Amino acid sequence: MLTRCGADVTVIMTASAQKFITPLTFRTLSRNPVITNLFDERNPSEPIHVSIAEAAELIVIAPATANVIGKIASGIADDMLTCVAMASAAPIVIAPAMNDRMYRNRFVQRNIKELEKAGMIFVGPEEGRLASGKTGIGRMSEPEDIVRAIEKALPRRS
């Protein structure tokens, strides 16, 4: 949806994300190389996480697991996604997706509140059918809702 709107999208996939979907899918959709490894340096004099962070107008983390939310809230930068999030001054939109019990966990809720206080924008999660087959809060928001949140969060151009 973003590329159809004219956005230049760089996809960063964590190791866990790659177990669900292949980088080829996102390379095809984004028409850009997919970043899968913190040590995939194209130019050793300019770390890729810094160049991506500086170039980004906006960062979207979707789906955002309890793990990645906790890492960012704790200042942990141990993969490409968290390094870029830490190194960027761009707005960050986070679309949580997880089990309902995980989402309601007091530590996850604390982390979400901390990130909101820091200015990060959350969209969702929604109530609905979860990956476990159960129904509850934790389903990632629909792509259209995430795109609306992105449009609102993008810096206005003059």
Domain ranges of the chain: 47-153
Per residue in 121-156, pLDDT (tens digit) is 999 899 988 888 889 899 999 999 999 898 888 866
Average pLDDT, the chain: 86
Find, among 41, 16, 156, 25, the residue nearest to 98 by Cα: 16
Which pLDDT score is estimated for 99? Answer: 92
Q: Residue 16 forms beta bridges with which residues?
A: none
pLDDT classification of 32: cutoffs 50, 70, 90: confident
Which pLDDT score is estimated for 8? Answer: 81
Average pLDDT over residues 66-79: 94
Which residues have CB under 8 Å from 85's CB, separation 6+? Answer: 53, 59, 61, 72, 77, 92
Beta strand 92-96 with 121-122: parallel, antiparallel or unpaired? parallel
Find, among 136, 150, 46, 155, the residue nearest to 94 by Cα: 150
Average pLDDT over residues 35-39: 77
Which pLDDT score is estimated for 43? Answer: 62
SS3 110: helix
End-to-end Cα, the chain, rounded Å:
24
User: Virtual CA dihedral for 134, 67, 111, 155, nearest 10 degrees?
Assistant: -100
User: Which has the higher per-residue pLDDT, 99 or 155?
Assistant: 99
Query: CATH homologous superfamily for 47-153?
Result: Flavin prenyltransferase-like (3.40.50.1950)
State CA 102 to chain mean position distance.
18
For residue 36, give the amino acid letter. Answer: T
Distance in angstroms (rounded) separating the CA atoms of residues 105 and 39: 33
pLDDT classification of 26: cutoffs 50, 70, 90: confident
